[in-house]
Structure 1
Amino acid sequence: MKRSERLVAMTHYLLEHPHGLVSLPFFTEKFDSAKSSVSEDMTIINVMFQQLGIGELHTVSGAAGGVKFVPSQSVENSERFVDQLAHQLEDPARILPGGYLFMSDLLGDPHTVKQIGQLFATYFAETEIDVVITVATKGIPLAYAVASFLNVPVVIVRRDPKVTEGSTVSINYVSGSSRKIQTMVLPKRSLSEGANVLIVDDFMKAGGTINGMKSLLKEFNAHVAGIGVLAEAEDEEEERVVQDYVSLLQIQHVDEREQRIDIVRGNYFQS
């Protein structure tokens, strides 16, 4: 195999297996190449990953060591993407009753969702995460996007139990915005006890739904390793029940009468 062909094949494999530890002998046997050649190829790939701002290769020493591709997004690319996203959401035509915004088209666009997933994966790259969890339904595409870059499974919390999911654990919680009692359920087999969980959601106002997920996770003795939301609403009248979270966008003001929306970068860029 020519070096150019080997570089393409190795790059493809690494991109398809983020956070997966790959030993040097694996590539030497797969491509019938010398260790020195594969090592040089790794250096070339790592330099290009960093120049493109999409991640880097981490070397793990020892007998069971190797390299793993850690996806990331450069600060410049991240800021450009989030600013573009804010501009799209500031379209007055997106205003819905109650001060909400129509975001389904963005959450249905694979390219946009993938970039959002990469941003959250960048932020939580050094955090030990076993599973990404979200509540049905709009947060599902975001959860899968984040999980694909972290290389972990997705667990979906539902409002009603499904017969195909077996026995479940359910809790009642108070919605932060409507102050209504609601229910969420999670199958007993979906989450291991003591798992490190990353909560992902598309929108947060007071944080009642996320707080409900945190309460549900306590039933599994799971640890909340982080919380990521695409957009948070700034509402001085509502007391936020969730404090430790990361947001890409902050919706500061929605004026239905004046048809105006003010959106700024979230706290993602403040850390």
Structure 2
Amino acid sequence: MKLKRSSRLIDMTGYLLQHPHQIVSLSYFSDRYASAKSSISEDLGIVKDNFESQGIGRLETIAGASGGVKYIPFMKRDDAEAFLRLLSEQLSQSDRLLPGGYLYMTDILGQPSYINEIGRMIASVYSNHSIDVVMTMETKGIPLAFAAASQLNVPVIIVRRSIKVTEGSTVSINYVSGSSKRIQTMVLPRRSLTPGSRVLIIDDFMKAGGTMKGMANLLKEFDAEVAGMAVLVETKSEEPKLVDNYLSLLKLSMTEQEEQFIIEQGNYFQYYEC
């Protein structure tokens, strides 16, 4: 059905937002709207300018017979800084500190608006890293992993702490928890990964980095590659973490006063290039 330009722009914008990192040919849009490719090109130019001015993302043109356009989500630096300030304020409430130096974040991780923005922030950094899969543990990092994966248009794999009969043959390793120094187990089905996969590891909270290191070691059993590591909140400590080159949105620092803490910006902008 032939549509007016205003209707095409609305539908085209919605389609691109729902299909990030996917090449869409001009022929597809031309057939979809019963319009000439020249008109579609003009429409895409308008969408591109709007995406960039609004900080929604960028529209890349792919040349060649099989080319088209591809929507790459990102967040403008000003918007990212404002969102981190909002998160910091929300997490700085005094009653959030839990025994063992952990932070209560379940309510934040249950808010789609927060989760979607966190996912877009992480995807902004790793949009050009050729990510094949997002990996996380079976904890509160799951919504973060799915939010980032939806922006990167890749699948999610979940590492478990015990074997599930419904997942078939598995690979398991033992690792040492960086904070408790206890030996723990993590398990992943053999069918989860193909050799050579580039994996983005995501978690919600990191103290010493033992869980992150364990997941990185598990990937070696699959001949897969760590393409990046991202965590919502890390703790500040004098001892170095067990992993390097990880991205953190926020950092939890304890003060000299008992049960007092500070939430500050993590190292996110050391990796941010948009």
Same fold (TM over 0.5): yes
AA partner of residue 66 (structure 1) = G
CA distance in 1 between counterparts of 2:29 and 2:211 reads 45
AA partner of residue 262 (structure 2) = D
CA distance in 2 between counterparts of 1:129 and 1:256 reads 42
CA distance in 1 between counterparts of 2:58 and 2:120 reads 13
Where 1:48 maps in the other structure, the secondary structure is helix
Matched, 1:50 2:52: yes
CA distance in 2 between counterparts of 1:191 and 1:231 reads 27
Per-residue deviation, residues 224-263 of structure 1 (Å, max 9, x unmatched): 0000100110122x44111110010011225673x42211
Give structure 2 stretches of 5+ with no counterpart. none
CA distance in 1 between counterparts of 2:152 and 2:70 reads 12
Per-residue deviation, residues 46-85 of structure 1 (Å, max 9, x unmatched): 1111111010100011111110000000000000000110
AA partner of residue 230 (structure 2) = G
Matched, 1:87 2:108: no
Q: Is the contact between residue 99 and residue 256 of structure 1 (CA under 8 Å) also seen in structure 2?
A: no
CA pair 86-47 structure 1, distance change in 2 beyond 3 A? same
CA distance in 2 between counterparts of 1:59 and 1:168 reads 41
Q: Is the contact between residue 176 and residue 206 of structure 1 (CA under 8 Å) also seen in structure 2?
A: yes
- For residues 64-213 of structure 1, what are the structure 2 equivalents within 5 Å? 64-213=66-215
Q: Give the TM-score normalised by structure 2.
A: 0.96
- For residues 14-53 of structure 1, what are the structure 2 equivalents within 5 Å? 14-53=16-55
Where 1:56 maps in the other structure, the secondary structure is strand
Q: Is the contact between residue 196 and residue 222 of structure 1 (CA under 8 Å) also seen in structure 2?
A: yes
AA partner of residue 269 (structure 2) = F
Q: Is the contact between residue 254 and residue 260 of structure 1 (CA under 8 Å) also seen in structure 2?
A: yes
Per-residue deviation, residues 4-35 of structure 1 (Å, max 9, x unmatched): 11111111110000000001011001110011
CA distance in 1 between counterparts of 2:198 and 2:240 reads 27
CA distance in 2 between counterparts of 1:203 and 1:179 reads 17
Identity rate, percent: 56
Q: Give the TM-score normalised by structure 1.
A: 0.97
CA distance in 1 between counterparts of 2:255 and 2:92 reads 9
CA distance in 1 between counterparts of 2:23 and 2:269 reads 29
CA distance in 2 between counterparts of 1:100 and 1:141 reads 18
Corresponding residue for residue 270 of structure 1? 270
Corresponding residue for residue 246 of structure 1? 247
Matched, 1:223 2:225: yes
Per-residue deviation, residues 130-172 of structure 1 (Å, max 9, x unmatched): 0000001111000000000000000000000111000100000
CA distance in 2 between counterparts of 1:101 and 1:63 reads 52
> Per-residue deviation at 1:43?
0.5
Corresponding residue for residue 261 of structure 1? 261
CA distance in 2 between counterparts of 1:102 and 1:113 reads 15
CA distance in 1 between counterparts of 2:253 and 2:99 reads 16
CA distance in 2 between counterparts of 1:115 and 1:54 reads 11
CA distance in 1 between counterparts of 2:5 and 2:11 reads 10
Q: Is the contact between residue 95 and residue 254 of structure 1 (CA under 8 Å) also seen in structure 2?
A: no
AA partner of residue 158 (structure 1) = R
Per-residue deviation, residues 67-108 of structure 1 (Å, max 9, x unmatched): 000000000000000011011111101011112110011011
CA pair 199-173 structure 1, distance change in 2 beyond 3 A? same
RMSD of equivalent CA atoms: 1.1
